[in-house]
Amino acid sequence: MVFVMEGELDVGFITTANVLVSKQITKGEVFVFPRGLVHFQKNNGKVPAAVISAFNSQLPGTQSIPTTLFGASPTVPDDILAQTFQISTEDVQQIKSKFASAKKF
């Protein structure tokens, strides 16, 4: 959940049926993300936004999808990522190279 104290955000999530649900929220508004769904929030204003966020657990955890897919160790096979994103394996390798430094220890 996010509560906007200042500024404005574009927020949204993708349902399990791959439907995007999105909205622009401004000062004083709240948006709730369903548990376990891929979601985003982006400052859409000309000034910094301030938000209060809440999670449904003491240890909610987060997972960066790009880092998870392209920086995993061992790596996700190039052909699987290429087919998933409908790009070439060369493009996958180029993207993976950008996440090489993001690997966990």
- Residues that constitute the known binding site: 39
In the block, tokens 């399990």 appear at 16
| Annotated binding-site members for Mn(2+) | 39
- The answer to whether 2 and 25 have CB atoms below 8 angstroms apart is yes
